[in-house]
Amino acid sequence: MRVDAGTVTENVGVTPLHIGIVGCSAEGAALCYRTICTEGAQFLGPHAHPEVSLHTLSLAEYMNCIYRGDWRQVGELMLFSAGKLAKIGADFLICPDNTIHQALPRIAARSPLPWLHIAEAVADKAVERGFHRLGLIGTRWLVESEVYPEKLATRGLEWVRPDPVEAAEINRIIMDELVYGTFEPASVAYHQQVISRMKEGGCDAVVLGCTETPLIINDWNSSLPTLDSTRLLAREALRRAVAGAAASETTVTR
């Protein structure tokens, strides 16, 4: 891990904002949490990271709603976690689950705290790295949704969805394997096959739009550069926590 000494020095003495994580599936939430804790040192010094709290209901509660297409209730579950996190002092929220971001617009206005949007973090990084046409992989609910297209379009980015057969198999891998912490070589190979087809179709990067996917696919085994939604969200939360605290302290000083 590279630590930017200048950035760390600048932030010495700053108390970061408290990050609230609204979890859904365990592996994605754990990777997001771990990234915040391990990469916090790049902003705050050795072993330092912001205060982080995680609340997650049973994944089954979410899936029961998703299987019947009840996105309103998905939003209510997210709002329930948001309320818990607000009560224990979180300053803002993130959700390391791409799929349930479909429900975020339904509850954002009633949320006790502001949210960072996972697709915005990904889109910002895509623009920063100069990408133009992105392959999108994730659950079938995610790739069929407008969660990413809405955010990518505002930044002038194009996207390519998996075909229906690919989407179904990737969804099976995610729901039957990855969320349980099972990582099969054949499933890695299938993701690589889909990404290679997207590259042949003109994509210059691929969005890992399931927060478990970075556990099996990365820049080392992908034929396209990867946009890791889990870690990008975690890093954006770190930046927000440090910048928000610094701005608050400046205001108080003045």
The tens place of each residue's pLDDT in the chain, 254 residues long, gives: 444 444 554 665 679 999 999 999 999 999 999 999 999 999 999 999 999 999 999 999 999 999 999 999 999 999 999 999 999 999 999 999 999 999 999 999 999 999 999 999 999 999 999 999 999 999 999 999 999 999 999 999 999 999 999 999 999 999 999 999 999 999 999 999 999 999 999 999 999 999 999 999 999 999 999 999 999 999 999 999 999 765 554 333 32
pTM: 0.92
61 occurs within a structural domain = yes
Give the CATH number, domain containing residue 215: 3.40.50.1860
Structure tokens at 165: 């057969």
24 occurs within a structural domain = yes
Residues 64 and 100 in one domain: yes
| φ, ψ (nearest 5 deg) of residue 39 | -95, -5
244 occurs within a structural domain = yes
Hey, CA dihedral for 112, 116, 120, 122, is it positive or negative?
A: negative
224, 211, 134, 135: which is closest to 178 by C-alpha? 211
Distance (Å, whole) CA 152 – CA 133: 10
51 occurs within a structural domain = yes
Residues 76 and 146 in one domain: no
13 occurs within a structural domain = yes
Domain count across the chain: 2
Residues 12 and 86 in one domain: yes
Residues 161 and 85 in one domain: no
Residues 200 and 244 in one domain: no
What pLDDT sits at residue 246? 57
Q: Which residues of 85-116 are buried (b: 16+ CB within 10 A; e: fewer)?
A: bbeeebbbbbbbbbbbbbbbebbeeebeeebb
199 occurs within a structural domain = yes
254 occurs within a structural domain = no
Residues 54 and 70 in one domain: yes
Residues 100 and 168 in one domain: no
Residues 21 and 109 in one domain: yes
Residues 209 and 243 in one domain: no
Residues 213 and 237 in one domain: no
Residues 31 and 108 in one domain: yes
What pLDDT sits at residue 5? 42
Instruction: Write out the residue range of the structural domain in which residue 60 sits.
Output: 5-117+231-249
